[in-house]
Amino acid sequence: MTDFFQGIPAITFEGEEGTSDFAYRHYNADEMILGKRMEDHLRFAVAWWHSFAWPGGDPFGGATFERPWFGETMDLARMKADAAFELFAILGQPYFCFHDADIRPEGADFAETTRNLEEIVDYIGQKMEAGGPKLLWGTANLFTHRRFMAGAATNPDPDVFAYSAATVKTCMDATLKLGGENYVLWGGREGYETLLNTDLRRERDNAGRFLQMVVEYKHKIGFKGAILVEPKPQEPSKHQYDYDVATVYGFLKEFGLENEVKMNIEQGHAILAGHSFEHELAMAATMGILGSIDMNRNDYQSGWDTDQFPNNVPEIALAYYEILKVGGFSSGGTNFDAKLRRQSLDPADLVLAHVGAMDVCARGLKAAARMLEDSGLEDARQERYSGWDTAAAKQHLTNGLDGCFDYVIQNSLSPEPRSGRQERLENLINRFV
């Protein structure tokens, strides 16, 4: 145990009339929404990397956080795990997520690094058995160390490819051992800086084969969770191969993986791609590859991925609306891939950031559920496309260009446009948020 969070109470639900900062006003784990507990809808997870491993730097300055567990020893890794489970006990969220590099120190060689991972996984497993939260997903950090500066699966050096594959094996083993419900791959440096030194075909082929190897190993070890890919358009690489949901879906189709891999979609990454969060969720749902989400937000004034905690209820309501429309999460959940501002130094800041975010998500979920129950939005959408329900309309899709030409001539068609009623629908949404 540590004394890092000393004096901070366990967070309980007080409702909207509560006055304590250290209380949930909207997140009531046991509240029933659409026939399911709120906790089971949201499936909150705390991200180990931002909450316990991030030092508080930015592109223009170094660390601002001073955590007693910072350092590259196993004793400090165990202290970090102790602090993590103390936060988990305070928040009472059901899940957490981690990269291998978040939880273990780097060893002198791959074998020592693997032993460190296995040792800390055993330590974390003991804490989970003692009543800690479950593992939503594990992943490998294949982007921070200098060996990955030219990518992992897409690296021009075959030894780095092999090292990366071996690393993923150890992380999948760790995820399986801890009962993880998903495994995530984020291609942080699977991209390029310049075409002058890049073989696009070779890199894409190698990335595709790498992902096939991950799926093969999943089935070999009997991992029942989902394999998830997390898209991002740029940063740290200038051009990323996993730009957005549509791009990744095309990639999955190319390598025969569309039925094996789903998506972990992050709000901040959607914004960097020029999309809204709900757009990316709707695209994934339409393609049958919606898996899980990283919940955060970006600063619209900044040009990089700021990973701030969410605070915009209308945006979140529209996101959960898309999720609820397809029946909610299966193995996925809501991971807070979010970090404190580098001036937020106190332990209480880390607690309250999560408290506020969980409340905001709860408000968004409840608004989304009311929107779905009301059915006004779906009724309007159905009415707009109702013309396609007729037999004559469906024939347009099979008659070819000649058939459509004959139909227009025979019926003297001169269609007039109809209102999309966007403002009316925006007003409808505002009734609930």
> How would you classify residue 219: left for phi > 0, otherwise alpha for psi between -120 and 50, otherwise beta?
alpha
Instruction: Give the residue among 51, 67, 99, 68 at the shortest CA–CA distance from 339.
Output: 51
Distance CA 342, CA 55 (A): 8
Element (H, E) at 292: strand 290-294
Provide the 3-class DSSP secondary structure of residue 18. coil
Provide the 3-class DSSP secondary structure of residue 189. coil
Distance CA 51, CA 83 (A): 10
- Long-range contacts of 325-329, Cβ-Cβ distance < 8 Å, separation of 24 or more: 325/285, 325/372, 326/285, 326/290, 328/36, 328/41, 329/41, 329/43, 329/292
Residues annotated as catalytic are 99, 102
Burial class from Cβ neighbours inside 10 Å (0-12, 13-18, 19+) for residue 312 reads middle
Q: Residue 292's CB: how many other CB atoms inside 10 A?
A: 28
Residue type present at position 202: R
Instruction: Give the rounded distance of the alpha carbon of 247 from its chain centre.
Output: 17
Question: Going by DSSP bridges, is the β-strand pair 226-230/261-266 parallel, antiparallel, or unpaired?
Answer: parallel
Distance CA 214, CA 305 (A): 27
Distance CA 361, CA 321 (A): 12
Q: Which residues pair with 184 in a beta bridge?
A: 139, 228
Tokens of 308: 């701030």
Do 212 and 168 meet the contact criterion of CB atoms below 8 Å apart?
no
